[in-house]
Structure 1
C-alpha cells in the first residue's frame, strides 16, 4: 500500500472531526454548555456555586422544572399544550384563595391539584375522544382560564 493511500486528506479529517462533534453533542446534549455557563458565572461571581445560592436557584426553578417535565411528554407524543401557564396561574390562585380561609388552610394544595387535574381532564377528553386539534383546545383553554 502506498503512503498516499493511507493518508487522510484535510477534507476527510474535517468531516471525521465534524461527525465526532455531532455524535458527542447528541450523546451529551446541553450538559457541556451548562458546565461552561456555570464556570463563567463562578468566575464573574465567586458566590455563584455556593450551597445557599444553588438551593435558592433550585427552589426558584422547581415549578418550571415540573412543568417542563410534563411538557416533554406532551411534545414527545406529538401534541402541544399552550394552556400550561394559565392553568398554573389558576391553580396557584385557587391555592391562595383556599388557604386564606382559616378553616380550610391545609386544603390549598389539594384544591390547586384538583383545579389543574380538572382542566387537564377537560383538555384531554376534548383532544382524545372528540378528536379536536390540541393546538385549538389548549389555545381555547388558555383564553378561557385567563
Structure 2
C-alpha cells in the first residue's frame, strides 16, 4: 500500500472570500521505477470545501520509487463548477502533511531531487520532531528541513 500525505488549503475567490461547497479535484499521472519494474500510475481524488472554504486530501506520496516522475495536478472549482485555480506538476516528497502553497513552492526542487538522486529535497515541517518521526526510508541525508512554525 503506498504511503499518503495530507495536503490541504482554503479555496477563496478573487476577493479572498472563502468558497463553501466548492470542489477540489487532484489527479495523479505518470510513471515510476520500482523493484518489480516500471509502473504507470494514475489516480483521481476529490474533496468538498467546508463553510470556511477549507479542504484536505490524502494523496499518494509520489517520491518512493527509484526514478519518480509522477506529479499531481490539483484543481479548485466553485459551487457552480467554474474553475477557480489549477496547480500543475506538484510533487509530494514525503508523508508529512503540507499546505498547497508550500507544496507548490517545493515541488519543482523535490521532483528534480527524485530524478537526480544527489540533489537535496526541501521539506517544510511545523517542528523537527515530525520529520525525525518519518520512517528511515522516507528520510535522506541530503534533505533540507525547513521548520515553519505557525
Q: TM-score range by the shorter chain?
A: under 0.3
TM-score in terms of structure 2 length: 0.25
Richer in helix (by share): 1
Higher RCO (C-alpha under 8 Å, 6+ residues apart): 2
Richer in strand (by share): 2
Bigger radius of gyration: 1
